[in-house]
Amino acid sequence: EENGHQNKRLKRDAGEEDAEDQNKKSPKRKIVLLMAYSGKGYHGMQRNVGSSQFKTIEDDLVSALVQSGCIPENHGEDMKKMSFQRCARTDKGVSAAGQIVSLKVRLIDDILEKINNHLPSHIRILGLKRVTGGFNSKNKCDARTYSYMLPTFAFAPKDHDVQEEVYRLDKETLEKVNKLLARYKGTHNFHNFTSQKGPRDPSAKRYIMEMYCGEPFVRENIEFAVIKVKGQSFMMHQIRKMIGLVIAIVKGYAAESIIELCWGEEKVDVPKAPGLGLVLERVHFEKYNRRFGNDGLHEPLEWTEEEEKIAVFKEQYIYPTIINTEREEKSMVNWLNTLSIHDFSSSAVGMQANNKNSK
């Protein structure tokens, strides 16, 4: 009898220890998080481990994941341990309304609330879904949609003295802008729209599904418009250069024929529009959704229920940041003043020769 009691007690103690151990080793699950953030003041999304000098969105995210108890501390130092993958690497200053990251976490109670409690208000986790164990948010993504919000005076003709707050975009100019943006659609060699890629690099070929500029609207006395672009994937600075070149053409600095020239092997001097107005709107997982979205175990990666939260976040944090920064720092005005320096008539090689001669 005594032995029986002892065995029971031992079992109970062991059970309590097991529960503690179980808590420590609670099974990790592969999930995706839907993120929105205002990128001002950050050096992009991707974390540079060992470089605390440049703060990134992922620095704040990883810190919140550790503090909320979703991941052990050592996973924060080595992100491979939690199979972390971001869907898009947004550049310095770029915001997101629908960024997706995939990772393994402990599914603790009230997980979203706990993570958000440790994040600054301009970074929010808006949704969470369970995904398949082998899911990788970067590789499984079929397409990405970005928007670019810009003041419409960017399209004013170069020889006209424009008062920024007075300018309004007319119908003909908007039609011209959209005609030019539509020329990017399809598969092209975008080596001139990024740095460090040669014309024969196969990875410079990219597929653009749609690109257009919406109707203008007025905020704080300045008229703005939003350009939307959906593509399979984008290279560093690609969207900003695509928009920069269209602005240069509409303003009258460059001929329309320069777009065709860009697809060729020659190096063309393409101006890069400011990063301020660029926002990662959403990422698309059509193939994954078809395969796993209705298998009874996994949800499709659609965020219809979160649409309202996304819209509210944009109105609270993203648009005001773009508008106020534009008013205070005049990033578009200052950039437009540099367009006259670009030599659109010759290649970069020709430009270097001209610079030497002028020196």
Per-residue model confidence as pLDDT tens for the chain (359 residues): 445 555 555 555 544 444 444 445 567 899 999 999 999 999 989 987 766 678 999 999 999 999 999 999 888 788 888 999 999 888 888 999 999 999 999 999 999 999 999 999 999 999 999 998 889 999 999 999 999 999 999 999 998 777 778 999 999 999 999 999 999 999 999 999 998 899 999 999 999 999 999 999 999 889 999 999 999 999 999 999 999 999 999 999 999 999 999 999 999 999 999 999 999 999 999 999 999 888 888 889 999 999 999 999 999 999 999 999 999 999 999 999 999 999 887 654 444 444 444 44
Domain final residue, candidates 107, 130, 153: 130
**Hey, which bits of 152-254 come out as E strands?**
186-189, 205-213, 217-219, 222-231
**Cα(132)–Cα(154) distance, integer angstroms:** 45
- Amino acid found at 182: A
Rounded to two decimals, the pTM is 0.85
Q: Indicate whether 103 and 247 sit together in one domain.
A: no
pLDDT on residue 77: 80
Q: Indicate whether 37 and 114 sit together in one domain.
A: yes
Residue 62 lies in a domain: yes
Is the CB of residue 89 less than 8 Å from the CB of residue 40?
no
At 301 the three-state DSSP class reads: coil
Structure tokens of 254? 């460059």
Residue 308 lies in a domain: no
**Hey, which bits of 200-315 come out as E strands?**
205-213, 217-219, 222-231, 278-284
Q: Indicate whether 114 and 168 sit together in one domain.
A: no
Q: Indicate whether 188 and 47 sit together in one domain.
A: no
Which residues, including other chains, have CB under 8 Å from residue 45's CB and lie 6 or more apart?
A: 39, 56, 57, 58, 86, 88, 89, 90, 94, 96, 99
Domain region containing 255: 143-284+317-352
Locate tokens 């697809």: which residue? Answer: 263
Q: Indicate whether 44 and 152 sit together in one domain.
A: no
Q: Indicate whether 47 and 170 sit together in one domain.
A: no
Domain final residue, candidates 109, 130, 151: 130
**Cα(111)–Cα(324) distance, integer angstroms:** 33
Q: Indicate whether 112 and 155 sit together in one domain.
A: no
Active site (catalytic) residues? 91
Q: Indicate whether 33 and 112 sit together in one domain.
A: yes
Instruction: Check the annotation: does 184 bind a ligand.
Output: no
How many angstroms from the chain centroid is the CA of residue 92? Answer: 10
- Which CATH number does the domain housing residue 110 bear? 3.30.70.580
Locate tokens 């550790």: which residue? Answer: 66
Residue 307 lies in a domain: no
Which residues, including other chains, have CB under 8 Å from residue 282's CB and lie 6 or more apart?
A: 97, 98, 144, 145, 303
Q: Which residues of 255-288 are buried (b: 16+ CB within 10 A; e: fewer)?
A: eeebbeebeeeebbbbbbbbbbbbbbbbbbbeeb
Burial class (CB in 10 A: 0-12, 13-18, 19+), 27: exposed
Q: Indicate whether 215 and 348 sit together in one domain.
A: yes
Domain final residue, candidates 86, 107, 130: 130
Residue 1 lies in a domain: no
Q: Indicate whether 160 and 120 sit together in one domain.
A: no
